[in-house]
Amino acid sequence: MKKKQILEGVIEKVEFPNKGLVWIPEEEKYVTVKNGIPGQKIRFMVNKFKKGKAEGRLLEVLEKSPLETREPVCSIFPACGGCMYQTMAYEEQLKMKSTQIKELLDAAAKTEYEFEQIKASPKEFCYRNKMEFSFGDEYKDGPLSLGLHKKGSTYDVLTAGDCKLVHEDMNKILLCVLEYFRTRNVSYYKKLQHEGYLRHLLLRRGDTTGEILVNLVTTTQEQYDLQPLVEELLSLELEGKIVGILHILNDSLSDVVQSDETIVLYGQDYFYEKILGLEFKITPFSFFQPNSRGAEVLYSTVREYIGDIHDMTVFDLFSGTGTISQVLAPVAKEVIGVEIVEEAVVAARENAKRNGLMNCRFIADDVFKALDEIEEKPDVIVLDPPRDGIHPKALPKILDYQVDNIVYISCKATSLARDLEMIQQRGYKLVKAVCVDQFCETVHVETVCLLSRKDK
């Protein structure tokens, strides 16, 4: 086997998150090919071959998988990298994700544990309350597009005017914004040349409230009167209501959505969403679970796993806008949340006050540093780290508390499996775990684990 060799084969299985395994009998080895579905016959090119391990790039699906029993629901599937599995029945998606996570946890767990399979999202489609769309073109020097990157590309952008992961309101706003700038021949920001104006459209919509925040992200290289766009957006017939339109200026070289300066063009710079009877104020960049209905399932599961915390102090580490803290506060003595994003902490404090929760405290700091400053000792710890898991310097400090129970929420199970190694070495065992599908049609899934001290 050598690089650039073209091969064909059937994807036997897909390992988390989207690593398809294709057996090549002539070579007597598996090749890992991303972005496929179990059972598909594919053509691929070998693009990596090192130390006996081979990786390939998908070129073409030659035959559909028997699991593909549905027609695509949007116009840019399968070229779009936004979702992978919309041609699979939802039950099959759930089964596959559950199997993937169980295999990871089985390999990582040092003792027997209870695996409670997977909990479905209450909504399979139109569930996302946040989307970051990019401006670009679908092909070199093509017309302006606004949407999601083509699968495997960091440059080509497909217009996502009928995306089924979001509410129809978001699609209407996207098409309105795209048409506005297309008719005016406005440039988009080219990452290599660092030239151009339009960068991103960040949309956030409360699933329960219908409140919508529109955030247009541009450079300062050009200037336009955006008031006509505001008027066009406000005249759209929407099921929800636009409560704020923001112009976010971003001249950073990296392709991240961030703000050097934010100008409110209309309304306010926040919206409200409700989860489990609590109300949350959400700002443009504060973290909030992207599937509001799925988050209710997730947080109810956390509450169930954590058990009776009456008269207990809970540490909610990597607390975001404080959703978990506030879900737990009514049944705890005190909850202390730690989050590095200051904007999220400000929102968390406001939310706790709005919800009448006086036993929540939020600290804006890195978890590694904050634990040295907090005088209280926790009785139980909730961990909800970012995708890369817990920093190897912070994890020992967390485990030094030797609390009886830890609930770990992971959006990337490979990071969880890595962290389990140290957690178990420090005297904890995996008691039970369950998946919660927050990201239907995509390769991602949340995992909730209960970890208890062995000597408890």
Catalytic residues: 411
Amino acid at 402: Q
Structure tokens that stand for 254 in this block: 């990296």
Beta bridge partners of 15: 19
Return the ∠ at Cα 409 (arms to 101 and 422), rounded to 5°: 80
Beta bridge partners of 214: 203, 245
For residue 241, what are the CA distances in angstroms to 152, 236, 278, 284? 35, 10, 20, 16
Amino acid at 223: Q
Cα gap 14→23, rounded to integer Å: 12
State the residue for tokens 């408890």. 456
Q: Rounded to a whole number, what is the distance in angstroms from the first to the last CA of the chain? A: 52
Cα gap 346→280, rounded to integer Å: 12
Residue 53: count other Cβ atoms within 10 Å of its Cβ: 11
The torsion defined by the Cα of 178, 183, 187 and 190, in degrees rounded to 10, comes to: 40
Q: How many residues does the chain have?
A: 456
The DSSP string of 321-348 is TTHHHHHHGGGSSEEEEEES-HHHHHHH
Cα gap 185→415, rounded to integer Å: 44
Q: How many helices (H) and strands (E) does the chain have?
A: 9, 22
The DSSP string of 96-151 is HHHHHHHHHHHHH-SS--EEEEEE--S-SSS-BSEEEEEEEESSTT--EEEEEEBT
Cα gap 253→36, rounded to integer Å: 33
Cα gap 200→205, rounded to integer Å: 16
Q: For residues 292 and 240, is the Cβ–Cβ distance under 8 A?
A: no
Distance of CA 420 to the CA centre of its chain: 21
Cα gap 73→333, rounded to integer Å: 48
Cα gap 126→113, rounded to integer Å: 35
